Chains A and B, each alone.
Chain A
């Protein structure tokens, strides 16, 4: 989002700021600020108009070049944590101290991930910056988001020594500053410090070219009580006044409040064109010459603004080129009152013109805000319709919700696009009923959308309906219509429409995957992935990669699936989204493929990551997958009651879906396999009486029952239709299962040759993709495989892997779920490998030809990198990270 993010820091680095923008070098206060850099935080807390921002600007200008500076103008009433942190990141990046490999370079704030994740990366990134950095958060009292305040508090509490944060605020912010104060890490500059002394007041007046005698200076100082803005306003009036002495006398004798009196004087004394410009441009937060001309109808905007900025600190340039200006807040507030009194009938038109200018310049949020203030709902809705997906993908959900809240009630009933956007907002918060009502409304009014916007409106509605269907089912009902709408919209190639296009294709692809249209899904998702990458949207990229990974896995391209899922997770790690709901599905998918390949320990780790995310942001289809995978893990470990609970939970979730799900058909037969494990033969026998005989998952279950009951002939009969294809297997795992059950039955009947043949068939199906997960759940398979002749099999290595697994020895993890911030050096890794033995440090030293001292140094360093304190913890952590082979567990 290209909201205005000013760069006064760059402006200041030019080094000429102090003079030409009328900034006064207040050495007395600089002497307080300078030593503060060695502490963590400086708080400049004082009422408006005390000269807080001016002081910090002039101080930075005076010491320009000596330190890197990042500057954040906190947005008015900032309630969007993503936007705030985005500004902080931009400021830190633009200070030039962030290296390309730092997490700070790639982080993308989002409100959907756990706040702790962004903060963790931010803190780590800041700690790794070696040069001193001054970060100014100007007007921090505007920060209303408690989430962002909490985050900032923890950041300040643990700030690295190289970082110095300057906060300016109208009132003491709620940031736990008392703790910093107690520990001597806080510098404070308060209203009393900021008050001008009589001598400083004299300097200020002289700087402004005002010639008055010392007595008048004393009078002005007394009357304004050293209040910065009062003095500046007085200086402005005096500079033009024919009889300065008389002005001072009148002012000193007045009982009017200072701001009121002086602003009235200042505005009254301005030439008419300046007054007109100030009045008409005060509706803006930032002014530039072009916008000013648009609002005044003249062409002197840039010149006048430039002159005002040169003359005093009430108008300040906020960019390097001095083309964009901002008015002092007090002046702004007063001007807005004047505008309401003097030109009330023009206000809406001014806002409308500003809205169009911002829209033309791609500044969506400002454009929408002014369109709302103009009461121009047509324009506001057109702009929202064009930009809402962009805001969503920018992570500025809070800003979007705020903009939508401002629309008049009843608009949704008439405007299809508005209803669609509001429905999306409800869906994001899980309010299905409200969302459905709005979707119905949007469908009713879609015909009334003007032709120019029709295709976009249809694509947006289709996307929202697909998203809804993904959550609660009904994909089949909307898919065809959505397919057409999305295809149609992509054909229009609307300018700036890539965000909606990419999001639409992503949802379409996922919907097709959930309904087994794998080829079409693959096409859509590849298209979405390319789009998402070209426009730099991690949301689309992660979503497409995850879905592509799951499609590959479901179509039995297991290695490709694993690669895509790991790619999705890598993107999430890069942008700091590993706790984003979007990534839950990737963890779950990866866990499933790992479990299928027998890597139970690593699979479990990814399941443990997916579980909290899917619990926090439930998405039923993904949760079904999660429960199924948890059930398979428990089966593999022989924990049948856990498995039963997981499969039952999975079935319950499928029922919630009202839609086909890849696991829908198998949850019940898997529950019954778990029951067999628990020895509950009767329940299974009863359930089988009404079971479909044309589905492999049921035929195999029947065979398992017969084997357990000592009826191998019946078991053979049960699996026969699976071999012939009469009973359909929805996954190759059921074919593998059928052959092994067949082998077990032959073995029970004493036909070793037939058992061998069937085992070979199973191994042939399992080996290409390294499948083990299903095999581990079959009772009696351990003996069968142990007896299988190694010299006659064509699949010796897979057989060995399976025998190891069945003996409780898991293969080494191929990739660790977590990575170290700072990788271990080769020597440290060598030492770590010895820590799992009972050798002493001296003995390890002699093994590695190192001194005992060096070994201890390596240990200290690797403990720090692993974030552990004891040898046992180091070994445990080393295993968890895949640096050490997993412990050999014999069950």
Chain B
């Protein structure tokens, strides 16, 4: 897989403590969701992030590849 940007959506707004956990990703918060956007070097990086989401008890809503416009 080529390096790709991914957008990951989780339910709820994550606060400053958790934002640190997703170092290197852009975190944007809507009233009910949090969007994590980041550059993944490979699938292993992506799975690492997913595992982090799991370990914080967050509910995963969506994972998608972003358009390469950034």
> Which B1-24 residues have C-beta < 8 A from chain A?
10-15, 17-18, 20-21
A257 to B16, CA, bound (A): 11
- Asked whether A257 lies within 8 Å of B13 as measured between CB atoms, the reply is yes
B11: chain A residues within 8 A (beta carbon): 257
Using known A-B contacts A47-B57, A333-B21, determine if residue A264 contacts B12 with beta carbons closer than 8 Å. Answer: no
Q: Quick check: is B70 within 8 A (CB to CB) of the other chain?
A: no
Using known A-B contacts A48-B54, A330-B56, determine if residue A257 contacts B31 with beta carbons closer than 8 Å. Answer: no
Least CB separation from B15: chain A residue: A260
- Asked whether B10 lies within 8 Å of A170 as measured between CB atoms, the reply is no
Q: Quick check: is B32 within 8 A (CB to CB) of the other chain?
A: yes
A227: chain B residues within 8 A (beta carbon): 57
B34: chain A residues within 8 A (beta carbon): 257
Least CB separation from B11: chain A residue: A257
Q: Quick check: is A261 within 8 A (CB to CB) of the other chain?
A: yes
Q: Quick check: is A213 within 8 A (CB to CB) of the other chain?
A: no
B58: chain A residues within 8 A (beta carbon): 257, 259
Q: Return B50 CB to nearest CB of chain A, in Å.
A: 11
Q: Which of A335-343, A489-497, A516-524 is near enough to bind chain B?
A: A335-343
- Asked whether B13 lies within 8 Å of A256 as measured between CB atoms, the reply is yes
A263 to B34, CA, bound (A): 18
Q: Return A53 CB to nearest CB of chain B, in Å.
A: 14
A258 to B15, CA, bound (A): 10
Q: Quick check: is B55 within 8 A (CB to CB) of the other chain?
A: yes
A333 to B56, CA, bound (A): 8
A345 to B31, CA, bound (A): 35
A261 to B13, CA, bound (A): 9
- Asked whether B56 lies within 8 Å of A340 as measured between CB atoms, the reply is no
- Asked whether B17 lies within 8 Å of A264 as measured between CB atoms, the reply is yes
- Asked whether B20 lies within 8 Å of A341 as measured between CB atoms, the reply is yes
Q: Quick check: is A95 within 8 A (CB to CB) of the other chain?
A: no
Using known A-B contacts A257-B18, A337-B18, A337-B21, determine if residue A48 contacts B13 with beta carbons closer than 8 Å. Answer: no
Using known A-B contacts A255-B31, A340-B20, determine if residue A333 contacts B15 with beta carbons closer than 8 Å. Answer: no
- Asked whether A256 lies within 8 Å of B15 as measured between CB atoms, the reply is yes
- Asked whether A260 lies within 8 Å of B18 as measured between CB atoms, the reply is yes
A341 to B20, CA, bound (A): 8
- Asked whether A257 lies within 8 Å of B17 as measured between CB atoms, the reply is no
Using known A-B contacts A255-B12, A255-B32, determine if residue A229 contacts B57 with beta carbons closer than 8 Å. Answer: yes
> Which B23-70 residues have C-beta < 8 A from chain A?
31-32, 34, 54-58
- Flag A653-697 by CB within 8 Å of B: 1 or 0 each: 000000000000000000000000000000000000000000000
B13: chain A residues within 8 A (beta carbon): 255-257
A171: chain B residues within 8 A (beta carbon): 54
A175 to B15, CA, bound (A): 37
A415 to B46, CA, bound (A): 37
Q: Return B27 CB to nearest CB of chain A, in Å.
A: 12
Q: Quick check: is A620 within 8 A (CB to CB) of the other chain?
A: no
A261 to B10, CA, bound (A): 15
- Asked whether A256 lies within 8 Å of B32 as measured between CB atoms, the reply is no
The one of B14, B20, B32, B55 in contact with A330, judged by C-beta atoms closer than 8 angstroms, is B55
Q: Quick check: is A49 within 8 A (CB to CB) of the other chain?
A: yes
Least CB separation from B31: chain A residue: A255
A779 to B12, CA, bound (A): 90
> Which A46-62 residues have C-beta < 8 A from chain B?
47-49
Q: Return A678 CB to nearest CB of chain B, in Å.
A: 59
- Asked whether B55 lies within 8 Å of A48 as measured between CB atoms, the reply is yes
Q: Quick check: is A106 within 8 A (CB to CB) of the other chain?
A: no
Q: Return B67 CB to nearest CB of chain A, in Å.
A: 27
Least CB separation from A334: chain B residue: B17
A258 to B13, CA, bound (A): 9
B54: chain A residues within 8 A (beta carbon): 47-48, 170-171
Q: Quick check: is A555 within 8 A (CB to CB) of the other chain?
A: no
A264 to B16, CA, bound (A): 10
Q: Return B12 CB to nearest CB of chain A, in Å.
A: 4
Q: Quick check: is A146 within 8 A (CB to CB) of the other chain?
A: no
A259: chain B residues within 8 A (beta carbon): 18, 56-58
A234 to B62, CA, bound (A): 28
A260: chain B residues within 8 A (beta carbon): 12, 14-15, 17-18, 56
B15: chain A residues within 8 A (beta carbon): 256-257, 260-261, 264
Q: Quick check: is A329 within 8 A (CB to CB) of the other chain?
A: yes
- Asked whether B20 lies within 8 Å of A258 as measured between CB atoms, the reply is no
The one of A170, A256, A338 in contact with B12, judged by C-beta atoms closer than 8 angstroms, is A256
- Flag A720-747 by CB within 8 Å of B: 1 or 0 each: 0000000000000000000000000000
- Flag A320-337 by CB within 8 Å of B: 1 or 0 each: 000000000110011001
> Which A160-183 residues have C-beta < 8 A from chain B?
170-171
- Asked whether B17 lies within 8 Å of A263 as measured between CB atoms, the reply is yes
B21: chain A residues within 8 A (beta carbon): 333, 337
A337 to B55, CA, bound (A): 13
A170: chain B residues within 8 A (beta carbon): 54
* Highest count of chain B CB atoms <10 Å: which of A49, A227, A257: A257
The one of A49, A255, A341 in contact with B57, judged by C-beta atoms closer than 8 angstroms, is A49
A337: chain B residues within 8 A (beta carbon): 17-18, 20-21
A229 to B12, CA, bound (A): 16
A229 to B34, CA, bound (A): 21
Q: Return B24 CB to nearest CB of chain A, in Å.
A: 14
Q: Return A685 CB to nearest CB of chain B, in Å.
A: 67
The one of B14, B31, B55 in contact with A333, judged by C-beta atoms closer than 8 angstroms, is B55
Q: Return B10 CB to nearest CB of chain A, in Å.
A: 7
- Asked whether A48 lies within 8 Å of B57 as measured between CB atoms, the reply is yes
A333: chain B residues within 8 A (beta carbon): 21, 55-56
A341 to B34, CA, bound (A): 21
A255 to B17, CA, bound (A): 15
A171 to B17, CA, bound (A): 25
B57: chain A residues within 8 A (beta carbon): 47-49, 227, 229-230, 257-259, 330
Least CB separation from A330: chain B residue: B57
A80 to B56, CA, bound (A): 26
A263: chain B residues within 8 A (beta carbon): 17
A229: chain B residues within 8 A (beta carbon): 57
A229 to B10, CA, bound (A): 18
* Highest count of chain B CB atoms <10 Å: which of A171, A258, A341: A258
A256 to B33, CA, bound (A): 9
A258: chain B residues within 8 A (beta carbon): 12, 57
Q: Return B15 CB to nearest CB of chain A, in Å.
A: 4
A128 to B54, CA, bound (A): 40
> Which A450-471 residues have C-beta < 8 A from chain B?
none
- Flag A242-277 by CB within 8 Å of B: 1 or 0 each: 000000000000011111110110000000000000
A711 to B13, CA, bound (A): 102
* Highest count of chain B CB atoms <10 Å: which of A49, A227, A229, A256: A256
B32: chain A residues within 8 A (beta carbon): 255
The one of B10, B20, B55 in contact with A257, judged by C-beta atoms closer than 8 angstroms, is B10
Q: Return B29 CB to nearest CB of chain A, in Å.
A: 9
A47 to B53, CA, bound (A): 10
* Highest count of chain A CB atoms <10 Å: which of B14, B18, B54: B18
A147 to B23, CA, bound (A): 33
A49 to B53, CA, bound (A): 13
A264: chain B residues within 8 A (beta carbon): 15, 17
B31: chain A residues within 8 A (beta carbon): 255
Q: Return A741 CB to nearest CB of chain B, in Å.
A: 70
Least CB separation from A335: chain B residue: B17
Q: Return B55 CB to nearest CB of chain A, in Å.
A: 6
A47: chain B residues within 8 A (beta carbon): 54, 57
The one of A49, A257, A329 in contact with B14, judged by C-beta atoms closer than 8 angstroms, is A257
A48 to B34, CA, bound (A): 20
The 10 closest A-B pairs by CB, nearest first: A257-B12, A260-B15, A49-B57, A259-B57, A337-B20, A255-B13, A260-B18, A256-B13, A257-B14, A260-B14
Extra 5 A-B pairs, beta carbons < 8 Å, given A256-B12, A258-B57, A259-B56: A48-B57, A257-B14, A260-B56, A263-B17, A333-B55
| A-B pairs with beta carbons under 8 Å apart, 7 shown | A48-B55, A255-B12, A255-B32, A258-B57, A263-B17, A334-B18, A341-B17
Residues of B within 8 A of A (CB): 10-15, 17-18, 20-21, 31-32, 34, 54-58
